[in-house]
Amino acid sequence: MSTIVVIGGGAAGFFAAIASAEANPEHKVILLEKGKEVLGKVLISGGGRCNVTHACFDPQELATYYPRGSKELLGPLHKFQPGDTMEWFADRGVELKIEGDNRVFPITDSSSTIADCLIEMAESANVDIKKSSGVKSFSQTEEGGWKVSTTSGDTLIADKLMVATGSSKGVWEQLKKAGHRIIPPVPSLFTFNIKDERIKGLSGISLPNATIQIASSDLEASGPLLITHWGMSGPAVLRLSAWGAYELNDRFYRFPILVNWIGRDEDVVVSDFMQEKKFSGKKRIGNHAQYEVPLRLWKSMVAAAGISNTSTWGDLNLKQIKALASELCSAVFQVSGKSTFKEEFVTAGGVDLKEVNFKTFSSKVTPNLYFAGEVLNIDGITGGFNFQAAWTGGFLAGNAMAGYPLD
Ligand SMILES: Cc1cc2nc3c(=O)[nH]c(=O)nc-3n(C[C@H](O)[C@H](O)[C@H](O)COP(=O)(O)OP(=O)(O)OC[C@H]3O[C@@H](n4cnc5c(N)ncnc54)[C@H](O)[C@@H]3O)c2cc1C
């Protein structure tokens, strides 16, 4: 019988502990959580609904949703992907549903359904869950196992140690002592703060097919864009914040963006407007929003282009038409900071992926050490990808620690 110690009672830690204990009930599995309660992030996730995973069942495509870790996750996702996650929960009595945008939630729309299931499964597999047991330090024993000291004064000896502590600076420091390189952490999945008259008072307006580009950079993202009280949010912004996590950090979150509200070619828009001038010359511009742009935003664009809302299409000259097309397709806004997206945020950075064997999620640097979840330099865009990385890593590491690595 071996002793397996898992540090961190989050999604990755629970999945690993359950997988280990279910794969080989002979082992003793101990899960150490520093907080008074476990699964804190699961409970607040997805706005309290827990976006468990994403209904994308092709590992090749799935991997592309991870700005960091896409190459490394490809193999593991062939072994445990969203279809397996959904089956895992269904087999344990949790019904899940796929929403229109392919995000997967429990049918109850309550994250406690997921947390309760994980706790119940851990308990029935005899995982020893120790709350209020923060790990202070861990070091390798002469036999190749691990000595783990907790803040509550306990010392445990583990044959195998799994670190699933999310974005814990203290634990990353410990891992540096164990010989690992830690990629400096920076936030990912944030919204943009923008103060600009053109969007003032328009919060709540969303455009389904926008494209945003960071000026003087290759960074670009498309998708729904939402105007908020503070600036801009929505999938297009969140994607950009994930792919640009390091670059935007380097710019202290101050940079210009080019917004194409409708994701269309500006030249085509100019020629469409010329047609309006030709065939609908008497129509008042301010009353006739184009391309299904919400009227209040359209009026703001018309004003920003220096055109009176009472003008007709026939009144416009080419310069004014081009100015309006530019407000629609390449409006420049200055971002002056970031805000937290309440439904999901994550930290980029963590254990250097070059130092991890992704067949088992074990350390290449030191024996009998395993990782899963956000402690690694892996993160996904919003939509259930971050939990999927935690489930996949936890499942593979858990089985490997139990002595049954997945082929
Ligand atoms: C508000 C919010 C909403 C989110 N919503 C979603 C969503 O809907 N879908 C999605 O895919 N992702 C979501 N995410 C991201 C997702 O929550 C994380 O990617 C995921 O929780 C990572 O799991 P983890 O187990 O690696 O880390 P964590 O969930 O952070 O768990 C780590 C655990 O380790 C414990 N710990 C830390 N240090 C120690 C120590 N020294 N000793 C003992 N224990 C320790 C912590 O207390 C914690 O319980 C959300 C994130 C946030 C913040």
Owner of token pair 């900071």: 337
Nearest CA to ligand 1 atom 27: 166
CATH of the domain at 375: 3.50.50.60
Distance CA 253, CA 192 (A): 8
Domain co-membership, 178 together with 197 = no
Owner of token pair 């600076």: 169
Domain co-membership, 124 together with 262 = no
Give the phi and the psi of residue 308 in degrees, each rounded to 5.
-75, 140
- Count how many domains the chain has: 2
Owner of token pair 């400096």: 184
Query: Given the CA of residue 35, which atom of ligand 1 is nearest to it?
Result: 47
Residues 327 and 301 sit within 8 Å (Cβ to Cβ): yes
Last residue of a domain, one of 340, 361, 381: 340
Domain co-membership, 255 together with 395 = no
pLDDT at position 125, please? 98
Domain co-membership, 60 together with 178 = yes
pLDDT at position 90, please? 98
Per the domain annotation, does 162 fall within a domain?
Answer: yes
- 40 CA from centroid of ligand 1 (Å): 7
Nearest CA to ligand 1 atom 14: 344
pLDDT at position 175, please? 97
34-73 pLDDT tens trace: 999 999 999 999 999 999 999 999 999 999 999 999 999 9
Per the domain annotation, does 205 fall within a domain?
Answer: yes
For the record, the structure tokens of 351 come out as: 């254990």
HSE toward the beta carbon, residue 225, CA cutoff 13 A:
28
Four-CA torsion 44, 45, 46, 49, nearest 10 degrees: -60
pLDDT at position 319, please? 97
pLDDT at position 222, please? 96
Neighbouring residues of 381: CB distance < 8 A, sequence distance ≥ 6: 65, 66, 67, 189, 235, 238, 239, 242, 243
Strands, E, within 245-326: which ranges? 254-260
Domain co-membership, 173 together with 73 = yes
Domain co-membership, 126 together with 251 = no
pLDDT at position 275, please? 96
pLDDT at position 244, please? 97
- 346 CA from centroid of ligand 1 (Å): 8
The residue count for the chain:
407
pLDDT at position 341, please? 87
Q: Give me the domain span that covers residue 283.
A: 190-340
- 187 CA from centroid of ligand 1 (Å): 14
- 172 CA from centroid of ligand 1 (Å): 15
Question: Side chain identity at 75, as an amino acid letter?
Answer: G
pLDDT at position 304, please? 97
Distance CA 254, CA 12 (A): 34
DSSP state of 373: G
> CA nearest 154: which of 142, 137, 166?
137
Domain co-membership, 255 together with 381 = no
- 4 CA from centroid of ligand 1 (Å): 21
Mutation test residue for ligand 1: of 163, 344, 382, 388, the one with most atoms within 8 Å of CB? 344
Bridge partner residues of 65 (DSSP):
none
Residue 354, SS3 per DSSP: helix
Per the domain annotation, does 254 fall within a domain?
Answer: yes
Domain co-membership, 90 together with 145 = yes
| Sheet hosting strand 146-150, strand order edge to edge | 135-140, 146-150, 155-158
Neighbouring residues of 32: CB distance < 8 A, sequence distance ≥ 6: 5, 6, 7, 8, 9, 130, 133, 134, 135, 148, 150, 156
Contacts 24+ apart (CB under 8 A), 95-100: 96/52, 98/55
The pTM is what?
Answer: 0.95
Per the domain annotation, does 406 fall within a domain?
Answer: no
Query: Given the CA of residue 12, which atom of ligand 1 is nearest to it?
Result: 25
Per the domain annotation, does 223 fall within a domain?
Answer: yes
Neighbouring residues of 328: CB distance < 8 A, sequence distance ≥ 6: 260, 261, 262, 264, 266, 269, 290, 291, 293, 301
- 165 CA from centroid of ligand 1 (Å): 8
Give CA separation, 134 vs 106, 130, 137, in Å. 30, 9, 9
Four-CA torsion 47, 52, 58, 62, nearest 10 degrees: 50
pLDDT tens digits in sequence order for the chain, 407 residues long: 899 999 999 999 999 999 999 999 999 999 999 999 999 999 999 999 999 999 999 999 999 999 999 999 999 999 999 999 999 999 999 999 999 999 999 999 999 999 999 999 999 999 999 999 999 999 999 999 999 999 989 999 999 999 999 999 999 999 999 999 999 999 999 999 999 999 999 999 999 999 999 998 999 999 999 999 999 999 999 999 999 999 999 999 999 999 999 999 999 999 999 999 999 999 999 989 999 999 999 999 999 999 998 999 999 999 999 999 999 999 999 999 999 988 889 999 999 999 999 999 999 999 999 999 999 999 999 999 999 999 999 999 999 999 999 98
Domain co-membership, 141 together with 246 = no
For the record, the structure tokens of 244 come out as: 């640009």
Distance CA 218, CA 235 (A): 18
Per the domain annotation, does 407 fall within a domain?
Answer: no
For the record, the structure tokens of 89 come out as: 């929960």
Distance CA 4, CA 125 (A): 13
For the record, the structure tokens of 3 come out as: 């002793």
pLDDT at position 247, please? 97
Distance CA 53, CA 10 (A): 15
HSE toward the beta carbon, residue 358, CA cutoff 13 A:
22
pLDDT at position 69, please? 98
Residue 181, SS3 per DSSP: coil
Domain co-membership, 215 together with 310 = yes
pLDDT at position 200, please? 97
Mutation test residue for ligand 1: of 386, 391, 392, 395, the one with most atoms within 8 Å of CB? 386
Last residue of a domain, one of 340, 360, 392: 340
Per the domain annotation, does 13 fall within a domain?
Answer: yes
Residues 146 and 139 sit within 8 Å (Cβ to Cβ): yes
Nearest CA to ligand 1 atom 38: 165
Last residue of a domain, one of 287, 322, 340: 340
Per the domain annotation, does 215 fall within a domain?
Answer: yes
Domain co-membership, 264 together with 371 = no
Domain co-membership, 359 together with 336 = no
- 87 CA from centroid of ligand 1 (Å): 22
